[in-house]
Structure 1
Amino acid sequence: MTKAEGENRFELSAADRVAVVAGSGRLPVNVADSLAEAGHQPFIVRIAGEIDPGTSLSGYDGETLAVEQFAALLPLLKRHRITHAVLAGAISRRPAWRAVRPSVSLLRILPRALAALTRGDDGLLRILVDTIEDNGIKVLGAHQIVPDLLATVGRMGAHAPMKSDWADLNAGLKAARAIGALDIGQAAVAIGGRAIALEGIEGTDLLLERVRDLRDNGRIAGRKRGVLVKSAKPNQELRADLPTIGPATIDAAHAAGLVGIGVEAGRSLVLDFGEMVARADRLGLFVVGLTGEEGEE
């Protein structure tokens, strides 16, 4: 079982007002609900076209912001007297620059944003975090609000890797770290002791769909087992975009014919832990938190 230690939690005061800048997926829901359970009603900045319908996010106070209105985020936070912000969930597209309206706010951040574009997605995240904090609003990681989201070392659930699976886990971790150093992605699939597919800008779901298609088309026919491995980038901004898995990842990995998932312990998030473990147990998949020093052969 994965239980993060209590010292990971950031202690909020009664006067603090927390905004969740919400993209898609379960992460912003987990963060918002955890805040509410702790007595802090979150303010939700819903990124238009990104948040999943039918979740509890629609029941909280907040506003909707188009991705092209990114320059309006800071004035919005300040207008609502936000003291802390959490960036949670995926953003599937970048702004359509023709739809971006000139403003004083935009002119203030545009030079830094354009410079960050040359450094990839992680560079953009760092600029966003720095800009928010330069204006007196503290940016928190989702794991600081919900410490139990952090993956810890070892097995999660009933199933464990076979001895032969460790060659795949080690190969997948090495490949994930290599593409992370290039700010390309955070995940790799390894079969037979070598990486056979790497995550690009499309994300983990489409990576696994690609692996499923490779099996269906006979490109990896006869190759059994195989794993998905997710790892933070070497210079990862830990308050945003940590590698994440959840029940849907289990389903997609199973559909791709894989037998397990490895995630970097302490630098990856596990969403809806109980449901994820139950689904992995039912489908026969293992899930393990990795340190990068396992070395099993």
Structure 2
Amino acid sequence: MGKGRLAIIAGSGMLPVYVAEAARAAGEDPVILPLMHEADQRWDGFESAPMSVGDVAGLARIIKNFRIDRVVMSGGVRKRPAFREIHMNLAFLRKLPHAIRTLLSGGDDAVLKMVIGLIESQGCQVIGAHEIAPQLLAECGALGSIKPTADDGRDIERAAEAAAILGSLDVGQGAVSVGGRIVALEGVEGTDRMLARVAELREEGRISARRKGVLVKLCKPQQDIRADLPAIGLSTVENAARAGLAGVAVQAGRALLLQREETLQRADALGIFICGIEHFQEKCARGFPSGNA
């Protein structure tokens, strides 16, 4: 039997588009599975089969009909399926008790791991978006023309410590530090809404107008990197600027930079730095000054 096809489960945002284009450039003929009420891009020119978030039985039929053997999960999903929205098959029934507990009380990472397990129970290999489109991964050091200062370095260290603790609790991936003080932690609302909250706190005088601050996004320590890698793009840069921040730092090799050229150009225009860091206790040599300077 020959090689099966690649399927791309598409949530919201541009990431599924980049993955699909990269897959096609690599000689794949991907099948797009847009999630109903979540996917927001057009898929003209690609074979597609829309499905609902909780339709396990439908996914099994799609896998069989298109001879799919590999699946990439990409894009945002705002809403977990209610139990009544889940359409089961026999493979799912064996995992039902665990699935119910996870949907009711698990964090996002626990839910994603459960979804990966369900897909693999249908006989498919789940691979990461970065394996299809490695060019999206952020590298170490300053990525645009603007570099973080020593004060920014201290904020990066502080925010990264908070993001690592937050991630270990399976709550979120991002934290904001201003003048060495943690002023915001990312929850289920997501990065953009967290940054909007920081902007409001600035306007209210709750955050110093003299100090800028930094957003840091890290992979959760226990995260399966095949799904939900931290991602930043144009909206992140623009919202960081509105929040009065000096820049954004992400984990090198474990975070995605979307719309790379446009995002870096916009960051430069707004005076915002974007940099990749190796680890929350380590600093990249290129364009990352010591926080102890």
Question: Equivalent residues in 2 for 1:101-180 (5 A)?
Answer: 101=87, 104=90, 106-117=92-103, 118-180=105-167
| Separation in structure 2 between the aligned mates of residue 20 and residue 245 of structure 1, nearest angstrom | 20
Q: Is the 8 A contact 2:173 2:230 kept in 1?
A: yes
Superposition TM-score, scaled by structure 1 size:
0.89
Question: Equivalent residues in 2 for 1:91-102 (5 A)?
Answer: 91-101=77-87
Question: Equivalent residues in 2 for 1:210-229 (5 A)?
Answer: 210-229=197-216
| Separation in structure 2 between the aligned mates of residue 105 and residue 139 of structure 1, nearest angstrom | 16
Q: Partner amino acid for 2:264?
A: V
Q: Is the 8 A contact 1:71 1:109 kept in 2?
A: no
In terms of mean alpha carbon deviation, does 65-74 or 141-150 score higher? 65-74
Per the TM alignment, residue 40 of structure 1 is displaced from its structure 2 partner at its CA by 1.3
Q: CA RMSD in A?
A: 1.8
Q: Is the 8 A contact 2:146 2:271 kept in 1?
A: yes
Gaps of 5+ in 2: 284-289
Q: Partner amino acid for 1:92?
A: R
| Separation in structure 2 between the aligned mates of residue 226 and residue 33 of structure 1, nearest angstrom | 35
Is 2:59 the partner of 1:73? yes
Q: Partner amino acid for 2:203?
A: D
In terms of mean alpha carbon deviation, does 38-47 or 111-120 score higher? 111-120
Per the TM alignment, residue 105 of structure 1 is displaced from its structure 2 partner at its CA by 5.7
Is 2:291 the partner of 1:296? yes
Q: In the alignment, which residue of structure 1 is the partner of 2:286?
A: none
Gaps of 5+ in 1: 1-13
Q: In the alignment, which residue of structure 1 is the partner of 2:287?
A: none
Of residues 6, 15, 19, the one that matches 1:31 is 19
| Separation in structure 1 between the aligned mates of residue 181 and residue 235 of structure 2, nearest angstrom | 25
Q: Partner amino acid for 1:46?
A: P
Q: Is the 8 A contact 1:163 1:296 kept in 2?
A: yes
The 3 A distance-change label for structure 1 pair 68 and 185 is: same
| Separation in structure 1 between the aligned mates of residue 186 and residue 44 of structure 2, nearest angstrom | 31
Q: Percent identity?
A: 43
Question: Equivalent residues in 2 for 1:242-253 (5 A)?
Answer: 242-253=229-240
The 3 A distance-change label for structure 1 pair 231 and 29 is: same
Is 2:10 the partner of 1:22? yes
The alignment covers a number of residue pairs equal to 282
| Separation in structure 2 between the aligned mates of residue 71 and residue 257 of structure 1, nearest angstrom | 47
Per the TM alignment, residue 99 of structure 1 is displaced from its structure 2 partner at its CA by 3.7
Per the TM alignment, residue 199 of structure 1 is displaced from its structure 2 partner at its CA by 0.2
Is 2:38 the partner of 1:50? yes
The 3 A distance-change label for structure 1 pair 289 and 161 is: same
Q: Partner amino acid for 2:138?
A: A
Q: Partner amino acid for 1:32?
A: A
Deviations 1:15-53 (A, max 9, x none): 341000000111111000111122212101101121224
| Separation in structure 1 between the aligned mates of residue 60 and residue 202 of structure 2, nearest angstrom | 46
Q: In the alignment, which residue of structure 2 is the partner of 1:8?
A: none
Of residues 196, 216, 230, the one that matches 1:209 is 196
Q: Is the 8 A contact 1:191 1:223 kept in 2?
A: no
